Chains A and B, each alone.
Chain A
């Protein structure tokens, strides 16, 4: 009965969402009493969808194959963690997870609405309910996870082996939290357009939500990238695959939104642009969902595809995004632009940031959609590959990275560029010196490599310029400097750390792209190969048995350049239920570098072995983690935390300086 109760809970949540959407959007002026009801409704939606989700999880865990979803995507022999994560390793289940996170954010918005005026509350919760109604309705009517089978089959069809990995337990929930989190910004934007209430207070409410979603999206993308890196067996960490682009575009737009909301919060400027970005960001999240869920793209993310579903999602997309932009077109002329500033100012720098990020979104969007459109319209299949994206995206990011360190050093409204330049001089010199030194040591001539290194070091060092400036390091006693450093607002720390994380990622990308080495060869047990100073000895070949798979395992002993040895065991697995083979690479970290070993196809009397040495590749993901950490630090800053800003405490802090 638990399955049917879960089904009913989802239906009830849908009904509450439909009525809340109507109530919130039509009666938004009816004050605090309606807000209280909508807030309660948002929390109820979350409780009910959680019940529905847990019912599906339970059916997977006890292998109840009368649930069609479990019969198609689970297997009684699967380890428990993959039974649970398998819930969202398929179309229906991932839609349910999407709805769960949507209502979670709605409930959070309701719970933290204390200081929010009732008309905004009503509109935000109404819009959020509209989204819930749309997606829960889509789930119930076209891809119901609660479809039953009678009689129930004996055994399930198993989950795609590539997805049987901890990555599936972490990557989709994080990514969805990021995607869906931007729905709150979208709802706030719609509320601002309808109510005409758009001011600094609005930005102060929106920014934490943007930051939270951005942190989740950053972690989700980084996790997805690392997962693809170790699971797909090719050692690639970013493929410019349309599905990756679909998650990367909201990230770029969200990054732009984060910065423009800052301008709006601090300076009451860029209001209309911020609203526009909020709509764009969530629209790109929806577009990503459409691309992945409609079956237009075939990839490991597509699971099962069904053209009718694609059409329904497209229609929903058209109505939601089209409606939002229509509202924007009608209402934005009536909104008041505010806050003037000189071109050279913090605002100006942030606009430059937005300009480059928005153009980058455009470039990625064109590269992703153009082949699809061309295929749909003329039937010609072309592929826009990595060279296009590397070139276009690189060309757009280089100037952005170049001016990035200036931004935080410029004052609001009007600033002195020369003064900021002087303060950065030392860091610029250091970056140039390191870039030349490393390039010379590595024997690189004038090419993109030193330029990339230069940008990476420049951003990394430039990020801490403001910290050093504010603490007057070197100009006053060290203890005094440290005291000042500790007393700096967390928002300044988070800016510096966030930008430094970006610099680290850039350094990792440049290093791997420039100095990666690879070796493809045939090897038999007892033989050795050598790559970049690492000695790889093939000790033995064994056949091992896992919980639900058989594995051909190569046992290798790798001797590093410094003499340490490690045993690496790459596998080729065959899953019993589906008979599908997968490749499990073995990865060994040496500091920030990694050695990546893949056991290739078996040949008649030997084995294909692929080895990659990836210098400093971990910096790519460490940078992403540092950026996310900076976001969390910024969220913890009292001044932008949900609820009442601590005006009194801040005044005291200022007085104590």
Chain B
């Protein structure tokens, strides 16, 4: 109940203040108009006359200081006189009507209505301020992973059959790098519930990570069971294919790569890796793509170099050329391209990344020759 009252009270206080502020502003505007009903055109006339007097003073000062001789001063004064005559002859602006009370009041009414309505549309009077210092509840929420895990562990010692607890803590162990604990937690989950293909793969993942690249018979066993249990399970097939690749059993790896690829929708992030895996497995473990790549780079570099030496290009293009030569291990050409780029862009300011690239590869800078 008191919370509800608080929620209503906040906006009420806010609206009272907002209306008071509006009223004060309108009153200030209203009283600004009070006591100024006299239409003071006399002040303006005086101002205009004062201006002409100043101009006359300036001419006389110039004459005294020798900037104008007598005849020039006379001409200037004549010019000023003509200006004054023109000003006096100009028709007065339309007789000014005064600014009426009605216009003032309607202006104030529009102001008040517009501001309150617009705020009601845009504002959030119900939301209180929440400075960080006033939010102690955050301290409880922002507990880090270690604390949370410790708390769950304590509870699991008391109630080792808490399925939910094991489900939560297993991925947390994985994230913290405690792979053996994670595997044990997954085993507990499998014991307390039906072992699904996903769970078996999770356990296998933990075991493989724990083995740190050395492989695990238990993991292979779990993965094969998962594959057998679920014909549409991709993750287990990918792990299995990768493990067979590591063991050099390319026929089996090829089968599982192919199965995984057949299950793909077409936009999965692992698909290119799987395709490459399949290609390597089909070629009995020899990676042909690297050779292809080198050939492709060579072709591209030739074209780029021809164009850059002939027509010049951006720093990025030069950097690309130098980088390509370095990848091809062609240091002479890399140095030549870099020297050409330094001539095209003499200021280090323009060459940022290129210099880093060249220095990293041990190329010589022009600066070092000096």
Give residues in A with beta carbon < 8 Å to B: 1-5, 7-9, 11-12, 14-16, 18-19, 22-23, 27, 29-34, 36-37, 39-41, 44, 48, 59, 62-66, 76, 115, 117-119, 140, 144, 146, 148, 150, 152, 154, 195, 199-201, 204, 234-236, 266, 268, 336, 338-339, 411-414, 518-522, 600-601, 603-604, 606, 608, 610, 612, 644-645, 647, 650-651, 654, 657
**Interface presence of B74 (CB below 8 A):** no
Q: Which of B111-119, B248-256, B318-326 contacts A (4 or more CB under 8 A)?
A: B111-119
Cross-chain contact B122 with A144 (CB below 8 angstroms): yes
Residue of A nearest to B66 (CB): A411
Q: Flag if B44 contacts A200 (CB, 8 Å).
A: no
B299 located at the interface, meaning its Cβ lies under 8 Å from any Cβ of chain A in the complex: no
Q: Judging by beta carbons under 8 Å apart, are A520 and B348 in contact?
A: yes
Verify A604–B347 contact, CB threshold 8 A. no
Cα-based distance from A378 to B316 in the complex (angstroms)? 23
CA distance A601 to B123 in the complex (A): 48
Does A152 contact B367, Cβ atoms closer than 8 Å?
no
A34 contacts B14, CB within 8 Å? Answer: no
* Cross-chain contact A4 with B127 (CB below 8 angstroms): yes
B349 partner residues in chain A, CB cutoff 8 A = 234-236, 518
A154 to B128, CA, bound (A): 16
A9 contact set on B, CB distance < 8 A: 21
The complex places the Cα of A648 from the Cα of B251 at a distance, in Å, of: 108
Taking CB atoms, residues of chain A closer than 8 Å to B79 are 339
Query: Interface readout for B56-74 with A: 1 if CB under 8 Å, 0 if not?
Result: 0110111011011000100
Contact of B367 among A1, A22, A520, A608 (CB under 8 A): A520
Given A12-B25, A608-B355, also A518-B348 (CB < 8 A): yes
Which single residue of chain B is at the shortest CB-CB distance from A339?
B79
Bound Cα distance from A140 to B121, whole angstroms:
11
| Cα(A150)–Cα(B125), bound, Å | 13
Q: Which of B76, B128, B129 has the most CB of A within 10 A?
A: B129
Q: Are A4 and B132 in contact (CB under 8 A)?
A: no
How far, in whole Å, are A80 and B221 apart by their CA atoms in the complex? Answer: 59
Most buried by B among A119, A150, A201: A201
Q: Are A33 and B37 in contact (CB under 8 A)?
A: yes
B residues in contact with A645, CB < 8 Å: 50, 54
B124: interface (CB < 8 Å): yes
Name B's interface SS: helix
Would you give the shortest CB distance from B297 to chain A, in whole angstroms?
Answer: 23
Choice from B37, B47, B114 contacting A19 with Cβ under 8 Å: B114
Please name 26 pairs of A and B residues whose Cβ atoms are closer than 8 Å in the assembled complex, sorted by A.
A1-B14, A4-B123, A19-B110, A23-B107, A29-B93, A30-B96, A30-B97, A32-B36, A33-B36, A36-B33, A36-B36, A37-B29, A41-B29, A59-B131, A63-B132, A64-B132, A148-B127, A152-B135, A336-B86, A338-B83, A411-B67, A412-B62, A412-B67, A520-B359, A610-B355, A654-B64
Which residues in window 6-42 of B have CB below 8 A to A?
10, 13-14, 17-18, 21-22, 25, 28-29, 32-33, 36-40
Given that A19-B111, A647-B53 are known contacts, is A521 also in contact with B368, CB under 8 Å in the complex? yes
What's the count of A-B pairs with C-beta under 8 Å? 221
Q: Judge whether A48 and B55 touch: CB under 8 Å.
A: no
Question: A141's closest neighbor in chain B, by CB?
Answer: B122
Q: Provide the residues of chain A in CB contact with B141, threshold 8 Å.
A: 154
Q: How large is the interface on B (under 10, 10 to 19, 20 to 34, 35 or more residues)?
A: 35 or more
Q: Which residue of B lies closest to A266 (CB)?
A: B58
- Closest Cβ of chain A to B248, distance in Å, is 33
Interface-located stretch among B98-106, B166-174, B191-199:
B98-106
- Knowing A118-B44, A520-B348, A608-B359, say if A8 contacts B18 (CB, 8 Å): yes
Are A29 and B97 CB-contacts (below 8 A) given A12-B21, A118-B44, A519-B367? yes
B130 at the interface (CB under 8 A from A): yes
Task: Check: B343 CB closer than 8 A to any chain A CB.
Answer: no
Encode contact with A along B347-366: 1 for CB under 8 Å, 0 otherwise: 11101100110011000010
Chain A: minimal CB distance from B368 (Å): 7
Do A411 and B33 touch (CB < 8 A)?
A: no
CA distance A163 to B51 in the complex (A): 49
Which 5 residue pairs spanning A and B have beta carbons closest together? Answer: A40-B32, A62-B131, A15-B115, A30-B99, A34-B99
The chain A residue with its CB closest to the CB of B114 is: A15
Knowing that A30-B98, A44-B29 touch, tell me 16 more A-B residue pairs with CB under 8 angstroms.
A5-B18, A8-B18, A11-B122, A16-B25, A23-B107, A29-B93, A29-B96, A31-B98, A33-B33, A33-B36, A33-B37, A59-B131, A152-B135, A154-B142, A608-B355, A612-B348
Given contacts A65-B130, A603-B359, contact A201 B51 (CB under 8 A): yes
Query: Which residue in chain A gives the minimum CB-CB distance to B361?
Result: A603
Determine if B48 is an interface residue (Cβ-Cβ < 8 Å): yes
Please state if B133 and A1 are interface contacts (CB–CB under 8 Å). Answer: no
B129 touches A201 (CB 8 A): no
C-beta contact mask, B75-100 vs A, less than 8 Å → 1, else 0? 01001000100110000011011110
A8-B21, A11-B122, A63-B132 known; A32 vs B39 contact (CB < 8 Å): yes
Chain B residues, CB < 8 A from A16: 25, 29, 111, 115
| A66 with B123, Cβ < 8 A, contacts A14-B118, A30-B96, A118-B40 known | no
CA of A62 to CA of B132 in the docked complex: distance in angstroms?
6
Contact pick for A63, options B60, B72, B131, CB 8 Å = B131
Q: Does B138 sit at the interface, judged by CB under 8 A?
A: yes
B332 to chain A, nearest CB (A): 21
- Judge whether B115 and A12 touch: CB under 8 Å: yes
Quick one: which of A19, A30, A65 has the most chain B CB within 10 A?
A19
- Please determine whether A44 and B28 come into contact, CB atoms closer than 8 angstroms: yes
A8, B119: Cβ atoms closer than 8 Å: yes
Hey, which chain A residues are within 8 Å of B360, CB to CB? 603-604
- What residue in chain B is nearest A518 (Cβ atoms)? B348
A31 touches B99 (CB 8 A): yes
Q: Nearest chain A CB to B33's CB is how many angstroms away?
A: 5
Instruction: Report yes or no: B51 in contact with A200, Cβ–Cβ below 8 A.
Output: yes
Q: Which residue of A is nearest B356, CB measured?
A: A601
Interfacial chain A residues near B115, Cβ < 8 Å? 8, 11-12, 14-16
Q: Using Cβ atoms and an 8 Å threshold, which residues of chain A touch B87?
A: 199
What A residues does B368 contact at CB under 8 A?
A: 521
> What residues of chain A lie closer than 8 Å to B51, measured between beta carbons?
199-201, 204
